Amino acid sequence: MNRAVEGKVAVVTGASSGIGRATVVELARRGYAVAIHYCSNEQGGRETLAQVRALENGKARVYSADLAIPSEASQMAGDVLADFGRVDVLVNNAGGLIQRKPLAEMEFDLWRRVFAVNLDSVFLVTRAFLPVMAKQRSGVIVNVASVAGRNGGGPGAAAYSTSKGAVITLTKGMAKEFINHGIRVNCVNPGVIDTPFHQRFSTPEMIARFVSQIPQGRTGASEEVASVIAFLVSDESSHIVGESIEVNGGILMD
């Protein structure tokens, strides 16, 4: 048990697989009690819970909600606070591509759904947990955006990349507003990570093309993103505010 996080609670959204699951396990390993959120993948959420319970002293609970719906985001926050009494870390990881589609062929309803899942959910969940963090005068928020938000994304991903670019900007706005409440906000931008996201939306040919553009010559692992998130929520990053950290093997360098 890390004494610095003893008694602290972390919420991770979109934690039924991939980066979300890896983040839950890493934070639980470091001693956080973790609220595991999933939307529709109940089996995945339960599998994440099982991985935490397999750890020594691992503590977690599972919650289901469509975080693009205001009432469900508020209800989940209320349930978490009723169970744990506090929230010290919020990782806004929930999101998705929904469907690869060129803008010229995209229906407005799909455009709005992509933004609801990737951007609205960050606003709604953060707004729901902000009062308790402000009352505590402490807290850390990490938003998970994407390299797509920096470079426009791959084929048929303009809506997704635009929504993730907005998350990067929202992170800076949150950071400026919340720091006076003792709350730090930062962002991670994963590159091409080996997760169910790409297994669902990217063909092997697309993955090969993406990898050919990565100087490191490989896709990333969810655990490599989770370790950066864990750093950002720790006291070791106490002077980092409003930053977006690229985790992409060199595909985009600033």
Q: What angle do CA 203, 163, 130 make, to 5 degrees?
A: 125
SS3 15: coil
CATH number of the domain residue 149 falls in = 3.40.50.720
187 within a domain of the structure (yes/no): yes
How many percent of the chain have pLDDT more than 90? Answer: 90
Over range 2-13, report the average pLDDT: 91
152-180 tens-digit pLDDT? 999 999 999 999 999 999 999 999 999 99
219 within a domain of the structure (yes/no): no
Model confidence at 1, pLDDT cuts 50, 70, 90, reads low
140 within a domain of the structure (yes/no): yes
41-70 tens-digit pLDDT? 999 999 999 999 999 999 999 999 999 999
108-154 tens-digit pLDDT? 999 999 999 999 999 999 999 999 999 999 999 999 999 999 999 99
Over range 69-79, report the average pLDDT: 98
What pLDDT shows up at residue 179? 98
How many percent of the chain have pLDDT more than 70? Answer: 100
Say how far apart CA 84 and CA 36 lie, in whole Å: 12
Say how far apart CA 25 and CA 50 lie, in whole Å: 10
243 within a domain of the structure (yes/no): no
Count of domains forming the chain = 1
Over range 176-186, report the average pLDDT: 98
- pTM assigned to the model: 0.96
Element (DSSP H or E) covering residue 230:
helix 222-233
CB of 92 closer than 8 Å to CB of 125: yes
Catalytic residue set:
160
Model confidence at 31, pLDDT cuts 50, 70, 90, reads very high
**Which amino acid makes up residue 140?**
V
188-232 tens-digit pLDDT? 999 999 987 777 778 888 889 989 999 999 999 999 999 999 999
Model confidence at 88, pLDDT cuts 50, 70, 90, reads very high
Number of neighbours of residue 116 by Cβ within 10 angstroms = 17
Q: Determine the structural domain holding residue 100 and report its residue range.
A: 3-192+224-237
206 within a domain of the structure (yes/no): no
